[in-house]
Amino acid sequence: MLIKALCDYADKRETNPKEKAIPEGWCKHPIHFKINLSLDGKIVSIDDIREPEIIKMKNKKEKVVFKPTEVILPKRKSRSGVFSETIEQRGKYIFGLEYEKNAFVLSEKFHRAFIKHELNFFQGLDSEICCAYKNFITTWNPAAETENPELLKIAKNYQTASFRFALTGCKGFLDEDEQFIEKYNNLLAEKKNALVSQDTPLVPCGILGEKLPVARIHDKIKFSGGNATGCVLVGMKESAFESYGKTQSYNSNISEQAMKKYTSILNQLLADPGHRVIIDNMVILFFAMKADDANECDMLWSFLSDSFSNPTDIEQFMQSMFHKAKRGTIGDTNIQIDENVLFYVAGLTSNASRICQKFIYRDKFGKIIDNLVQHQRDLQIEEEQNKQIKFSWINKELISPKSIKDKVPPPLMTSILISALNGTDYPNALLETVVRRVKTDSDTENKPFIKLNRTRAGIIKACLNRKQRRAGKKEEITMSLNPENKDPAYLCGRLFAVYEKIQQDSSGGDLNRTIKDSYFASACARPSAIMTKLSQLAQNHLRKLEDKIKIYYNKLIAEIMDGLEGAFPQTLNLDSQGKFIVGYYQQNKMLYTSHKSESDKSEN
C-alpha cells in the first residue's frame, strides 16, 4: 500500500508547476562550497555558497545558521567502500586530503579512485570547463597542498562539506555543461537498455500493472537512525526469505521503473521537514494525494511537531483554524486546503539496514483533522489549558523519568497514533502504563510534577471518556472538578486530595514526606484498607487548624463521604484507578486555586 501510494504521489507531484522534476538518474544534493578553476586547472578560489537562515530558539533568541544549496547532480551511490562519484563532491576524494586534529592529512586511496573514475568518464569531452576539470585532476598534488590557503579558510567545515566546480569568469557549473549532460544521459540509457536485454525476467509489476523488468536490488533510502549508507524498504538478503526459486528482490514483483519512482520520492519526502516528524525513534511520514500538498501537510505538522505551540485559547484555536478549514480557509488566513483529498500517514523505523513500516493510515484529510481535534479535546483536562498535548509529551510520560535508555515500545506508540488519527479507542496499554507511572514515580524538590501532571491526567481522562463515548454512554470525566460525579473511585481520589491538603496546612507546608508519598499507590488500588486510616490521621491534623479552616474542610469531607455512603470500595480495577487519579488531580487543583475564597465564604 505504501509503495503504491508513493508512486501515485510521485505522478501527482510531476504535474505541479512549482515542482522541478528530477530526471531519472539524478538527485538533489546539498552543496556548501564552489571551487573556481582556471583553464589550466588551478584553484583560483573556493567560495561559500551556503545560504543564511534565521532560526528562533526555545529561549526566544534568534540564531543564524548557514544551510547548503540544493543542487541536482548525478545520482549518488549508496554503498560502503572506496568509490568515486560521477562529478565528485567529497573533499577527501577531490583533494586527497582529510582534516584531522587541526591539520590536513593525506587520503591517497580515495584520491586515486577519484582520478581513475573521472579521467575515464571525461575522456573525449573538450569543452572549456571539462578541460579545466581534467587539468585539475592531472596536476593537483595532495602532498604539496596541505597548507593551501583556500583550504585552510574552510578547514572547520571541510570534513562535512560538499563541493561544486565552476570555471572562473564563466557562468554555469561543470554539472551543467552540455557535453557532460549528454554523455551522462547516454550512459544511463545504455544501462537501461542493457537491463532489458539481459536475462532480467519480465513480470506483471504489482505497482504499475504492466509487464516490466523486475528490480533485482532496490535503491537505498537515507533514513534517520539507519545505516550511513542508507536502508532498503524492500529486500531479501537471506535465502530463508526466498521462494519459488527466486532470489533477492525478484520475490517482490516490483518493476525497476516502480522501484526508481518510489525510492526517489521517498528520499525526497524524508529529506523534507514539512513532510515528516520524528517521535522518539519513529519517523512519521505524511502526504496528500495532490500536486501541491504544502497546506495540508503544514496543518498536520502543527499537530505532530514538538516545536509548535498555540498561543491562544485552545477552543478558539480549534474553532477558527480547524473547523473553518472545512470551508476552505484556516482561521483568518487565506490558506486553501482540500478536505476531501486522500491523505496518507505512515510510521517508519529503522532496523539495521532495513526500514520497518509500523503502520500506514489513509483517509480523507478533513476526517483526519476532525479526529485529531477530538484527540486534543479528549486530552484537555483544564478549562484554561491553551496548548496542545504533543505526542512527544505523551511519549515522555510513559517512561520513568529516572531512566535514560528506556523507550516506549513501538507497538504502543503506533497504537496511540492510529487511535488519534482514526478516532478509535486508545489502547488499554496506554491507560495501564500511565496509571502505573503515577503510582510508582515520585516527585522531587526541584520537580514537583513528575508523579502527576497535566499531561498524565489528560491521558487518563482521554482513555476513560473515549471508551464511554464509543460505547454510547455519557462521558464521566469533565474538564474540571465535578461535584455531581458520585463514582466511588472518583470520590476516593477527591478525599485523598483533601486529606493531603489538611496535612500540608497543619504542618505549615514543612514536610519531607506527605501521605501521597506513603499511601497513594495503596489507596488507589485498595481504598478500604487505607482511607479509614487516613481519615483518622486527618482528624488529628484538623485539630491544629483555625476554626474557619476546620469548618471548611469538615464540610468538604462530609460532602464527599455522603456520596460514598460511608463505605470505601474494597478494590479498584484499572478504569477505577484512573478515576481515582483524576479525582485526586482535580480536587487538588481546586484546593490550591480556590481555598482562600472558599474559606472566606464559610466564615461568612
Confidence of residue 38 (pLDDT cuts 50, 70, 90): very high
Mean pLDDT over residues 502-507, rounded? 90
pLDDT at residue 551, rounded to an integer: 92
- Work out the pLDDT band at 238, boundaries 50, 70, 90: low
User: What is the 8-class DSSP label of residue 290?
Assistant: S
Q: Are 65 and 27 in contact (CB under 8 A)?
A: no
Whole-number Å distance between alpha carbons of 297 and 502 = 50
Give mean pLDDT, residues 548-568.
91
What pLDDT is stored for residue 199 in this prediction?
A: 62
Q: Is the pLDDT of residue 60 over 50?
A: yes
pLDDT at 280 over 50: yes
pLDDT of residue 217: 79
State yes or no: pLDDT of 366 exceeds 50: yes
| Predicted pLDDT of residue 260 | 87
CA–CA dist 599, 439 (Å, integer): 31
pLDDT for 352 = 75
Contacts of 469 (CB under 8 A, 6+ apart): 475
| DSSP conformational letter for 294 | H
Q: Percent of the chain scored above 70 by pLDDT? A: 87
* H or E element, residue 350: strand 342-351
Residue range 85-96: mean pLDDT, rounded: 93
pLDDT of residue 198: 58
**Over the stretch 509-530, which tens digit does the pLDDT of each residue have?**
677 788 999 999 999 999 999 9
- Per-residue pLDDT, 111: 95
**In the structure grid, which three cell numbers stand for residue 487, read together?**
463514582
Res 91: pLDDT: 94
pLDDT value at position 55?
75
pLDDT tens profile 444-497: 878 888 899 999 999 999 999 999 998 888 888 988 899 999 999 999 999 999
The answer on pLDDT for 385 being more than 80 is no
3-state SS string for 501-553: HHHHHHHCCCCCCCHHHHHHHHHHHCHHHHHHHHHHHHHHHHCCCCHHHHHHH
159-171 pLDDT, tens digit per residue, is 999 999 999 988 8
Query: Alpha-carbon distance 188 to 197, whole Å?
Result: 14
Residue with grid cell 478515576, as numbered in its chain? 579
**CA torsion, ordered 133, 135, 136, 140, to nearest 10 deg:** 160
pTM, whole model, 2 decimals? 0.77
Burial label for 306, CB within 10 Å (0-12, 13-18, 19+), is middle
- The pLDDT assigned to 244 comes to 62
Supply the pLDDT for residue 110. Answer: 94
Q: Looking at residues 221-241, what average pLDDT do you find? A: 77
State how far the Cα of 302 lies from the Cα of 325, in Å rounded to an integer.
14
Q: Rounded to whole angstroms, what are the CA distances from 23 to 185, 188, 224, 484, 493?
A: 10, 11, 25, 66, 64
Distance CA 262, CA 335 (A): 29
**Rounded to whole angstroms, how far apart are CA atoms 267 and 339?**
26
**Averaged pLDDT for residues 276-285:** 90
Lowest mean pLDDT among 30-34, 425-429, 473-477: 473-477
pLDDT tens by residue, 303-347:
887 654 443 444 454 455 544 444 444 444 455 788 899 999 999
What integer pLDDT is reported at residue 179 of this predicted model?
A: 95
Which band of pLDDT confidence, cut at 50, 70 and 90, is reported for residue 241? low
Across residues 548-577, what is the average pLDDT?
Answer: 92
CA–CA dist 389, 379 (Å, integer): 7
**pLDDT recorded at residue 323:** 46
Q: What are phi and psi of 171, to 5 degrees?
A: -80, 155
Burial code (b: 16+ CB inside 10 Å, e: under 16) for 375-398 equals: bbebbbbeeebbbbbbbbbbbebb
